[in-house]
């Protein structure tokens, strides 16, 4: 064993440059993984600390016991409690103070008139609580609101909106309310709770604008007397509470906030980063495997001599694996340091790009150090295992050969096996799409298709490189094509790393483009109006529109119909569902709901209209009965009076406003569909609508196409993030190409010297190596585009859930991906080409 280790150490010292590419690839992959884990730990700790500070003075919270959650709202919706209950609680033994917390949605407009924090995060408003121990926000500047129209805003909102103390602005509640900023607050010592904005009003203003009826509150916050524990306080409160109202400890509220605000988000965020780290490491395995395969092939004579001198197969195998362990360990340790640096950089970068996560020191847990180290070692050693086994099988007679024999030519067995695996994968993927659809079956098929592509690589590379290299007529291009074909397995393995990166990029590009096309198709089919009015921001916005706006628009002479689509929530046969609240008689004038069974225009107070997809899932038809449980605890049966086809705008359930009125928590419209009167031009009608909308907080007035585009705006943000994260995987793949070419140049030193001796110029030699890199990259890019497009189609269909979906292949974006892949291949070949051109001719010819 000692001799094996000495040989490994001597080989590493003598051939450091050979393993530099592998070292760099492992370092990058481990850095990404370690950075993700450290950042996740840091953010979770920061959120825990922030929420702990914010609620440290609240010992108990009294609230409605039941919360209705929907797929789009994990926080849930609760019925308000009686604000007068605070006076009763304040008189109980062990209670030091009890104040009502009146909370609701309130979107703050900045100094430029644009909404602050309008891209999805909650925008909150409430009464400013005078007791500093019970107020989650702390006054940092100015004073508390004392008169109607005065407000305190959090510092993050003030910075984002360019607002200062003394400024006047508008708060959408959803009715526009003029407020004057008299104070600036912080949340748990931070500028705010992430991108969430908060506006603190007087209790009178909050009761007037934020709750359905005066005298209601979202909750009652309670502070205990000294010496009374939170559990003792809750036990004291429970007997005094009415039915349907509960008391929970402040610690439980802190844990809920952490789980709901930070836990769910951070879990998804960290999981997404870990997926991309896994893709990067998968790409790295091909690059590492290729490096060791080339090194083992170059050391065939050396290993054969060792075997001839008495070395066993196990010793030769151990030498190669020891080198892999050394490279993997050094790169993984360096990657841990790099990961901590990445986490620190992201912690500073996120606030600069609009994601102000809480401040705090980096938190590095043991798992965040051990896991990347183990993964880095496993990836490096696992990738080198097969080449090491081949090295151990080197026959002593191989020492008599001049060069290594390349036995990697495409075999019939490989072709048949690869074709069978690929076809089986395609069949399983298509079955997953058509039967169900089943995302699990589709995913299994996708893995099989990828495996089939990898196995078929050396078979396909011969024909593909000949086709891709056909336009290269000059001698440098022809030589590059022959060099790429010299070792099909090596070329295929090098290209596969890039193929995976391009495939994932193409998959998400096709998926996002298809989702946008589906949304556009759905809106185009369902929206029959001329313009739509909606709150600014991603989707419908969290705050909604004033219910007074639709009647004001309907009164315009330029407008024929203005239909407000309200929003509600109920538990339908046990599961929380979002509801659309509207005037049934006006639905058909501005929305096209497709084929409708029954009558939707005469929807009664005890009836509901349901989308066809939802009705099919629940086995309903016209005349069926559905039981709705509202946040006030009321359970009512509703008759399915209509089943409609197009649910792109209305969602799955439509109730009349009179049916919703007894159970409403807040009367808002998420969008208003407007159709113009006959003879009214689009520009004139839109201008008239905008003039009225300006009086109600200036929401966006959009044409049909603008409305469709805004519905899909979040996909562009997602796609940009995906591209940024996948850049590392593509970079690792390109490093693999550069490393393979560098080793190939070393392997062909004598050949290159002979080419220079017979008249090849430095420029021709550089061109030959660069074109070889381009051909490898073009092969990987082409395979990635085909694979990504197919898997993108499967992903679109499998996630459609049986609903209509539009599959769209964006030619411009995929062309850009192809060009970037080929150009990056040329860049990857720059350094190996430069090194090859600088070889000394005589020394190269004399090389072994």
Termini Cα distance of the chain: 29
Last residue of a domain, one of 667, 698, 729: 698
Q: Which of 760, 780, 728 is nearest to 833 (CA)?
A: 760
User: Helices then strands (H, E): number in the chain?
Assistant: 27, 26
Residue 7 lies in a domain: no
pLDDT in tens, 458-495: 888 888 888 887 887 777 778 778 877 777 777 787 78
Confidence of residue 97 (pLDDT cuts 50, 70, 90): very high
Higher pLDDT, 462 or 747: 462
pLDDT at position 120, please? 53
The pLDDT, as a whole number, for residue 460 is: 82
At 7 the pLDDT is 60
Last residue of a domain, one of 242, 262, 282: 262
pLDDT for 683-698, tens place per residue? Answer: 899 999 999 988 887 7
What percent of the chain lies above the pLDDT cut of 70? 86
Domain boundary pick from 233, 262, 291: 262
**Which tokens is 746 given?**
């070393």
Q: Is the pLDDT of residue 538 over 50?
A: no
Is residue 567's pLDDT more than 90? no
127 near 207, Cβ under 8 Å? yes
756 and 622 part of one domain: no
In terms of domains, do 555 and 690 share one? yes
**Beta-carbon neighbour count of residue 679 at 10 Å?**
7
Same structural domain, 630 and 672: yes
Number of residues that this document lists for the chain: 848
Q: What is the mean pLDDT of the chain?
A: 82
pLDDT band at 722 (very low <50, low <70, confident <90, very high): confident
pLDDT of residue 361: 75
Burial of 226 (0-12, 13-18, 19+ CB in 10 A): exposed
**How many CB atoms sit inside 10 A of residue 404's CB?**
17
In this structure, are residues 392 and 316 in contact, taking their beta carbons and an 8 Å threshold?
Answer: yes
> For residue 763, what are its two tokens?
């420029």
Q: Domain range holding 611?
A: 536-698
pLDDT in tens, 618-669: 999 999 999 999 888 889 999 999 999 888 788 899 999 889 988 887 778 8
Are 516 and 543 in a shared domain? no
8 Å CB contact between 144 and 183? yes
Short-list 547, 712, 700, CA closest to 118: 700
If asked whether residues 518 and 547 sit together in one domain, one would say no
427 within some domain: no
Task: Please check whether residues 205 and 69 belong to one and the same domain.
Answer: yes
Q: Is the dihedral of CA 552, 554, 555, 558 positive or negative?
A: positive
pLDDT for the residue 429: 86
User: Do the domain assignments include residue 436?
Assistant: no
Report the Cα 29 to chain-centroid distance in Å. Answer: 19
pLDDT of 407 higher than 50? no
pLDDT at 178: 93
* Short-list 290, 281, 285, 283, CA closest to 743: 290
Residues 726 and 88: their CA atoms lie apart, in Å, by 58
Nearest to 432 by CA among 416, 419, 448, 420: 448
Q: Are residues 779 and 721 in the same domain?
A: yes
Do 68 and 118 lie in a common domain? Answer: yes
Residue 771 has pLDDT above 90, yes or no: no
Same domain, 257 and 124: yes
* Residue 542 pLDDT > 50: no
pLDDT digits (tens, 9 = 90+) for 140-163: 999 999 999 999 999 988 988 899
Q: Are both 170 and 80 inside the same structural domain?
A: yes
pLDDT digits (tens, 9 = 90+) for 597-613: 998 888 888 999 999 98
* Exposure string over 687-696, b if 16+ CB within 10 A, otherwise e: ebbeebbeeb
Q: Is residue 24 part of a domain?
A: no
Q: Tell me if 45 is assigned to some domain.
A: no
Q: Region 323-338: what's the mean pLDDT?
A: 86
635 and 726 fall within a common domain: no
Segment 570-583 mean pLDDT? 89
Does the pLDDT at position 268 exceed 60? yes
**Confidence at residue 408, expressed as pLDDT on a 0 to 100 scale:** 47
Q: What are phi and psi of 74, to 5 degrees?
A: -75, -15
Model confidence, pTM = 0.75
Answer with the residue of higher pLDDT: 263 or 623. Answer: 623
For the chain, the domain total comes to: 3
Alpha-carbon distance of 637 to 657, in angstroms, equals 16
Running DSSP on this structure, what letter comes out for residue 115? B
E strands within 162-264? 168-172, 176-187, 197-201, 216-217, 219-224, 245-249
Residue 141, domain member (yes or no): yes
Whether 118 and 254 map to the same domain: the answer is yes
- 462: in domain: no
| Phi then psi dihedrals of residue 640, to 5 deg | -75, 105
State the pLDDT at residue 648: 79
In a domain, 776, yes or no: yes
pLDDT surpassing 80 at residue 593? yes
What pLDDT does residue 539 have?
37
């Amino acid at each position: 064993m000692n001799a094996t280790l000495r040989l490994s150490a001597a080989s590493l010292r003598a051939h450091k440059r050979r393993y530099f590419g592998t070292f760099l690839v492992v370092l990058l992959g481990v850095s990404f993984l370690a950075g993700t884990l450290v950042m996740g730990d840091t953010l979770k700790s920061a959120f825990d600390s922030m929420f702990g500070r914010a609620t440290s003075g609240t010992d108990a919270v009294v609230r409605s016991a039941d919360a209705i959650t929907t797929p789009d709202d994990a926080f849930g919706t609760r019925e308000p409690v009686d604000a007068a209950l605070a006076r009763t609680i304040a008189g109980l033994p062990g209670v030091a103070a009890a104040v009502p917390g009146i909370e609701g949605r309130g979107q703050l407009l900045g100094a430029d008139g644009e909404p602050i924090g309008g891209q999805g995060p909650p925008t909150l408003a409430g009464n400013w609580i005078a007791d500093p121990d019970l107020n989650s926000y702390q006054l940092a500047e100015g004073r508390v609101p004392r008169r109607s129209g005065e407000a305190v805003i959090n510092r993050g909102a003030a910075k984002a909106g360019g607002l200062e103390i003394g400024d006047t602005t508008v708060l959408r509640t959803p009715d526009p309310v003029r407020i004057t900023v008299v104070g600036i607050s912080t949340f748990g010592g931070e500028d705010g709770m992430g991108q969430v904005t908060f506006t603190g009003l007087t209790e009178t203003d909050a009761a007037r604008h934020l709750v359905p009826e005066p005298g209601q509150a979202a909750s009652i916050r309670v502070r205990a007397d000294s010496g009374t524990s939170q559990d003792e306080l809750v036990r004291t409160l429970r007997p005094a509470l009415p039915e349907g109202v509960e008391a929970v400890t402040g610690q439980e509220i802190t844990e809920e906030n952490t789980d709901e605000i930070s836990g769910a988000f951070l879990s998804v965020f960290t999981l997404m980063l870990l997926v991309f780290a896994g893709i990067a490491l998968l790409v790295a395995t091909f690059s590492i495997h290729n490096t060791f395969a080339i090194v083992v092939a170059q050391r065939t004579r050396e290993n054969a001599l060792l075997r001839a001198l008495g070395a066993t197969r196990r010793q030769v195998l151990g030498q190669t694996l020891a080198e892999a362990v050394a490279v993997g360990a050094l790169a993984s340790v360096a990657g841990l340091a790099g990961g901590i640096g990445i986490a620190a950089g992201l912690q500073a970068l996120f606030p600069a790009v609009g994601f102000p996560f809480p401040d705090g020191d980096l938190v590095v847990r043991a798992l965040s150090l051990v896991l990347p180290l183990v993964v880095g070692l496993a990836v490096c050693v696992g990738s080198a295992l097969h080449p090491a086994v081949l090295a151990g099988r080197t026959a002593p007679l191989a020492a008599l050969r001049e060069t290594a024999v390349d036995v990697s030519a495409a075999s019939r067995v490989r072709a048949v096996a690869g074709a069978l695996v690929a076809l089986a994968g395609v069949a399983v993927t298509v079955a997953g799409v058509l039967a169900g659809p089943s995302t699990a079956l589709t995913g299994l098929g996708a893995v099989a298709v990828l495996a089939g592509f990898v196995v078929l690589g050396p078979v396909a590379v011969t024909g593909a490189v000949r086709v891709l290299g056909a336009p290269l007529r000059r001698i440098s291009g022809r030589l590059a094509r022959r060099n790429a074909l010299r070792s099909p397995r090596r070329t295929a393995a090098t290209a596969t790393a890039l193929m995976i990166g391009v495939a994932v990029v193409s998959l998400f590009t096709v998926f996002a483009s298809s989702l946008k096309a589906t949304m556009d198709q759905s809106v185009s089919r369902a929206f029959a109006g001329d313009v739509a009015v909606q709150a600014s921001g991603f989707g419908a916005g969290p705050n909604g529109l004033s219910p007074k706006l639709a009647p004001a628009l309907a009164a315009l002479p330029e407008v024929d119909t203005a239909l407000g689509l309200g929003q509600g929530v109920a538990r339908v046969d046990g599961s929380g569902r979002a509801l659309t609240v509207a005037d049934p008689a006006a639905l058909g004038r501005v929305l096209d709901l497709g084929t409708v069974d029954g009558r939707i225009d005469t929807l009664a107070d005890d009836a509901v209209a349901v989308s066809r997809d939802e009705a099919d899932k629940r086995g309903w038809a016209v005349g069926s009965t559905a039981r709705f449980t509202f946040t006030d605890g009321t359970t009512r049966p509703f008759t399915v009076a209509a089943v409609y086809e197009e649910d792109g705008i209305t969602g799955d359930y439509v109730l009349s406003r009179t049916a919703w009125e007894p159970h409403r928590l807040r009367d808002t419209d998420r969008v208003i569909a407007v159709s113009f009167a006959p003879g009214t031009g689009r520009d004139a009608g839109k201008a008239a609508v905008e003039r009225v909308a300006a009086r109600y907080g200036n929401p966006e007035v959009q044409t049909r196409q603008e409305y469709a585009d805004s519905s899909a705006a979040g996909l562009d943000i997602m796609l940009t993030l995906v591209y940024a994260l996948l850049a590392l995987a593509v970079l690792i793949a390109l490093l693999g190409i550069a490393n393979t070419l560098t080793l190939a140049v070393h392997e062909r030193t004598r050949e290159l010297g002979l080419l220079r001796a017979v008249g090849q110029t430095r420029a021709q030699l550089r061109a030959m190596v660069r074109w070889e890199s381009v051909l490898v990259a073009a092969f990987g890019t082409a395979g990635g585009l085909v694979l990504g497009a197919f898997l993108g189609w499967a992903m679109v269909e499998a996630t459609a859930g049986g609903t209509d979906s539009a599959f769209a292949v964006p030619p411009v974006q995929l062309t850009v991906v192809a060009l970037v892949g080929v150009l990056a291949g040329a860049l990857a070949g720059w350094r190996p080409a430069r090194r090859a051109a600088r070889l000394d001719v005589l020394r190269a010819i004399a090389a072994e």
